[in-house]
């Protein structure tokens, strides 16, 4: 199968999600829009900001069909509600008509309050401390019980499953497939020797995570305003895993810059919760798994018309050659001494 053939098959379900369908879904819950509806930036789901007749503003999330089961979505909502009850600044869905998950026109959806804000300035030590403190509080709640329905972030789920899907569906051009498989195998061998490998997974404690803490999923408001500071949004990728998963995507730049950022995050984090420094050795392994998982994510979503438009560079031999080089670079990074702060 090629990208071209996979994108030319039957219409994608989201093509039927028109503004009228969105507003009818709201009305079915007794919430009436005033006609102002704006699509928000989201590739995985469809997310809309709606203004209501009573002058409130809400956000609707229509979940991608087939990704999560209802039970998995409800479990994520329950985690959000636990965090909100613990006064952790997350944006949790409303409970409407006795439920947080609703259905309309074949779609599962939720409704949440609208929260404004901007990306945090992660070169500011004070901001990093703030974020670190709230990450610790998320993890304190996350450690109180376990997920039952949602998966674990490990080598098997993020790495092996992603590789196998890409190969089974013939998404990698033959001229680069062997080299890509070889680079994956070398990376997986190194990852298997860490706590992310099945044989050693229980060496360190796992917990419920946000799962996708990058700067775009943190809304920052000035601290001199009421409820100022960070607000965490989009727990759609909530999983079981190691605490460091919710820290490493906030690090960028050269080693010195990443070390300084990590120091700020942990300075705040450890005011509320102990952090196991052994987890720092997992950062490059997690980065490698995310890289492979990201390629599979793009390929799996290619029938969605928004993906070819926004990722026109994906799928070519040049793209996969770049992935091979990045995997080789990651093997070198995994062999280096881990960050320490």
Catalytically annotated residues: 212, 234
Cα(9)–Cα(142) distance, integer angstroms:
41
Token pair for residue 134? 């709230």
Coil/strand/helix, residue 156: helix
Please, are residues 319 and 326 in contact by the beta-carbon 8 Å criterion? Answer: no
The residue assigned the tokens 């498989």 is 181
Please, are residues 315 and 4 in contact by the beta-carbon 8 Å criterion? Answer: no
Please, are residues 169 and 5 in contact by the beta-carbon 8 Å criterion? Answer: no
Q: What is the DSSP string of 87-130?
A: T--B-PPP-BTTBS-EEETTEEEEEEE----B---TT-HHHHHH
Token pair for residue 143? 């450690």
Which are the contacts of 334, defined by CB distance < 8 A and separation ≥ 6?
187, 190, 191, 284, 285, 288
Which are the contacts of 154, defined by CB distance < 8 A and separation ≥ 6?
196, 197, 198, 201, 241
The answer for 259, left when phi > 0, alpha when psi is -120 to 50, beta otherwise, is alpha
**Distance from the first to the final alpha carbon of the chain:** 46
Please, are residues 185 and 219 in contact by the beta-carbon 8 Å criterion? Answer: no
Which are the contacts of 202, defined by CB distance < 8 A and separation ≥ 6?
none
């Amino acid at each position: 199968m090629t990208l071209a053939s996979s994108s030319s098959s039957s219409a994608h379900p989201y093509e039927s999600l028109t503004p009228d369908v969105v507003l009818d879904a709201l009305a079915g819950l007794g919430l009436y829009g005033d006609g102002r509806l704006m699509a928000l930036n989201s590739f995985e789901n469809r997310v809309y900001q709606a203004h209501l007749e009573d002058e409130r503003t809400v956000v609707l999330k229509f979940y991608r069909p087939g990704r999560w089961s209802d039970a998995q979505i409800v479990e994520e909502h329950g985690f959000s509600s636990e965090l909100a009850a613990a006064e952790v600044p997350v944006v949790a869905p409303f409970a409407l008509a006795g439920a947080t998950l609703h259905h309309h026109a074949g779609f599962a959806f939720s409704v949440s309050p609208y929260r404004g804000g901007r990306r945090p300035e992660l070169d500011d030590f004070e901001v990093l401390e703030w974020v670190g403190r709230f990450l610790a509080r998320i993890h304190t709640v996350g450690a109180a019980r376990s997920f039952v329905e949602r998966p674990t972030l490990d080598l098997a789920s993020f790495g092996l499953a992603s590789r196998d899907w890409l190969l089974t569906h013939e998404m990698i051009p033959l001229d680069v497939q062997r080299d890509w498989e070889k680079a994956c195998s070398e990376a997986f061998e190194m990852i298997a020797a860490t706590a992310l490998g099945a044989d050693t997974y229980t060496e360190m404690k796992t917990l419920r995570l946000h799962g996708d803490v990058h700067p775009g999923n943190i809304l920052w408001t000035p601290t001199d305003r009421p409820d100022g500071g960070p607000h965490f949004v989009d727990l759609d990728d909530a999983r079981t895993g190691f605490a460091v998963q919710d820290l490493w995507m906030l690090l960028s730049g050269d080693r010195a810059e990443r070390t300084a950022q990590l120091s700020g995050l942990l300075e705040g984090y450890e005011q509320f919760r102990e952090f196991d420094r052994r987890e720092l050795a997992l950062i490059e392994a997690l980065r490698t798994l995310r890289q492979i998982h990201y390629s599979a994510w793009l390929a799996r979503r290619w029938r969605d018309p928004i993906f070819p438009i926004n990722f026109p560079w994906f799928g070519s031999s040049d793209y996969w050659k770049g992935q091979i080089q990045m995997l080789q670079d990651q093997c070198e990074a995994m062999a280096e001494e881990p960050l320490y702060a």
